[in-house]
Structure 1
Amino acid sequence: MIRIMFVCHGNICRSPMAEFVMKKIVADNKLADKFLINSSATSTEEIGNGIHRGTKAKLTEMNIPFTSHHAVQITKDDYKNYDYIIAMDSMNLRNLQRIVGFDNEKKIHRLLEFTNYSRDVADPWYTGNFDVTYTDIDNGCRALLEYIKEHNLKIN
């Protein structure tokens, strides 16, 4: 089983959006039974809070199912238990290093590293633009799945 943890600052906008987008993509590819996909935060600011209304609205608009979700913070154990830890931006890469330590196993990546755009996924908490964030996340998740298909024997 391939284990993916998506990470953003608060775990209410970008990382849950990525979690549910990726779950839909792997289901559409008939690979859902080969993946465990979750999301978490690097901060404690939103712990226990649900998905942001803008993320819910965008997922609903795009016909992407989602379940109840409460923000959690990533832990050192999560580093051990996941194959891919996918950050939404550079700040969260730095925060991840503080939380989990050095990435000896090269598990931590920025989502858009897997696309032609090696940049951060904009935080709609600040921009208010859930459309742009969704497009980046959808493109990043599709590229991540292609990367996994090419590099991981667990799904072949």
Structure 2
Amino acid sequence: MTKVLFICHGNICRSPMAEFVFKDMVKKAGLEDQFVIASCATSTEEIGNLVHPGTRKRLQQEGISTAGKHAVQLRKEDYNKYDYLLGMDAWNMKNIYRIIGKEDTDKVRRLLSFTDRERDIADPWYTGNFDETYNDVVEGCEAFLNFVTSKI
């Protein structure tokens, strides 16, 4: 069982997008029973809030639902609970390390570090470009799924 936690600032845009895109990919690959997939925030600003309407709309275009998802915050104990903690950008990474109390390059990585073009995933809260974020999330999730399944 591979346990994956996607992490962004508020857990309303990028990390839930990655959570539900990855769940969809895993389901389509017939690997649902081999993964636990969740997402969370490094901040407390959005705790309890629903997924951002822009993220919900973009995922609905792909037939992906985020029903029932509310923002939650990363906890120190999540480090031991999950095999991979995947941040969306360099700022998230700093905050992840602050919360978990250590730097770990094996378990804790940026999502796009699994691609040929490692970079940050822009926050659509600020850019308004949910399509660009979606494309980056898909690229990262595909690369991560290939990485993980090569180890199974």
Give the TM bin, normalised by the shorter chain.
over 0.9
3-state SS in 2 of match to 1:75: coil
1:12 aligns with 2:5: no
TM-score, normalization: structure 1? 0.95
Could you say which residue in structure 2 is the equivalent of 1:116? Answer: 116
Q: Distance in 2 between matches of 1:42 and 1:72?
A: 9
Name the aligned partner's letter for residue 74 of structure 1: L
Give CA-to-partner distance per residue, 1:62-99, whole Å, 9 cap, x none.
11232211101000110000000000000000001100
Shift of 1:126: 0.1
Could you say which residue in structure 1 is the equivalent of 2:149? Answer: 149
Residues 56 and 65, structure 2, Cα contact 8 Å, conserved in 1:
no
Name the aligned partner's letter for residue 38 of structure 1: A
Q: Distance in 2 between matches of 1:104 and 1:115?
A: 19
1:53 aligns with 2:71: no
Q: How many residues end up aligned between the 2 structures?
A: 152
Change (3 A) 1:105 1:112: closer
Shift of 1:137: 0.2
Q: Distance in 1 between matches of 2:26 and 2:80?
A: 23
Give CA-to-partner distance per residue, 1:100-153, whole Å, 9 cap, x none.
011347200001001111100000000000000000000100100000012x33
Unaligned runs of 5+ in 1: none
Identity of paired residues, percent? 52
Name the aligned partner's letter for residue 127 of structure 2: T
Residues 24 and 65, structure 1, Cα contact 8 Å, conserved in 2:
no
Give the alignment of 1:14-93 within 5 angstroms.
Answer: 14-93=14-93
Change (3 A) 1:105 1:94: closer
